[in-house]
Structure 1
Amino acid sequence: MFNAIEVILICLVAQAAVTDLAMRKIPNVLILSGLLLALILHLLAGQPWAPVTQWLAGCLAGFFLFLPLYLLRGMAAGDVKLMAMVGAFGGPLEAVRIAAVSCLIGGVLALLLLWWNGRWRDGWRNLAQLCRPLLLRLLGVPLLPVPLAPSASVGGVPYGVAIALGTVAVVAWTHR
């Protein structure tokens, strides 16, 4: 049976997914409410170090797992904050599990969106533009530092949906 922390977490990520689909944004009030609820629930759990070992460590783990994707412009800030909130509920190990499953789901979702929108060629062109310097460098070709030319985006992925599905999958897997 699911415990209170898991039920509240699933409700919060479901709300984030719905909001991300509808508005393409995850509200800060939802993230802050979730962080506060997670802290209160960890305090009420009775374990003396739970706020530090679970809430804070999970929050930091979730945040820093997706921060590089945000810095590379592959993800929005709301998605990073949502993952931090998810980590605050489950702790650092659970944050890593959920992030891994969310990345897999997000990748499948991105491929489905490329297929649905008919933007395969643009996606392959962008991928080739990113990988070409790396491949040339691996082959030993000396390259001058040249900034990448901006390429046309093939569209965004509502990553709140991927995080919500990843959270539900990991929580359900623990109760199988």
Structure 2
Amino acid sequence: MDASLNSPSHWILLAVLIAATIIDSRTRRIPNLLSLGGAAVGISLAVIGSGSVTPGAALGGLALGLMALLPLHLLKAMGAGDVKLMAAVGTFLGPSITLAAVLCTFIAGAVIAIIVLIVRDGLRETVQRYGFGIKHLILGGTWLGKRVDKDGTGPLRFPYAGAILCGSVAAVLWAAAAGH
């Protein structure tokens, strides 16, 4: 991986992530053109030698980004657009930095989730519900359900592209500082 923060591929990745974050925050969707197009650009840059990783590393990063978030989508905890966006991130960063980006994304997502719960006045209720749910499971029961918004419309959700943006930027900065 090119440790330079001036790598053109890093700036292209940043543009893709900023666009995805803006669109996701407005529409709660990440267009396939953006995530799949971003992945195609990341792989193309690697193939022509202008990326920060080799073509094999770009494909490895794609696979890692996809597989890291796919289970959350299958559990209906995350949208498919988020999974595809993380796969696109992998094409720019390769497997090792993608792994760091995934871990940083999970941390950023947790922080954002807590902020969203505080803003939406749901933190105390969520902590109580999870405490009760864990106690119920320990005593041989089953999980009692998902958190719903105050109007009862469904699970408490927020656009996750912002967490992917924060996690990916943190991973790139970490890699540059570490000389990777």
Counterpart in the other structure of 2:96: 93
Indicate if the aligned counterparts of 1:63 and 1:81 stay in contact, CA closer than 8 A: yes
Counterpart in the other structure of 1:112: 115
Give unpaired runs (5+ residues) of structure 2: 150-155
- Structure 2 length-normalised TM: 0.83
Q: CA separation in 2, counterparts of 1:132 and 1:83? A: 34
1:3 equivalenced with 2:7 (yes/no) = yes
1:151 equivalenced with 2:146 (yes/no) = yes
Indicate if the aligned counterparts of 1:63 and 1:83 stay in contact, CA closer than 8 A: yes
Residue pairs, 1:1-176, within 5 angstroms: 1-45=5-49, 50-51=54-55, 53-128=56-131, 130-132=133-135, 134-136=137-139, 143=140, 148-154=143-149, 155-176=156-177
Aligned-pair CA distance for 1:130: 4.5
Shift in CA distance, 27/71, structure 1 to aligned 2, threshold 3 Å: same
Indicate if the aligned counterparts of 1:106 and 1:157 stay in contact, CA closer than 8 A: no
Moved segments of 4+, more than 4 Å: none
Aligned-pair CA distance for 1:132: 3.5
Q: When the two structures are aligned, how many residues end up with a matched partner?
A: 166
Indicate if the aligned counterparts of 2:101 and 2:168 stay in contact, CA closer than 8 A: yes
Q: CA separation in 2, counterparts of 1:46 and 1:78? A: 26
CA RMSD of aligned residues (A): 2.2
The CA deviation string for residues 118-176 of structure 1, in whole angstroms up to 9 with x for no partner, is 0123312442355335533xxxxxx47x5x44434251121100000111122223334
Indicate if the aligned counterparts of 1:17 and 1:161 stay in contact, CA closer than 8 A: yes
What's the % identity of the aligned pairs? 31
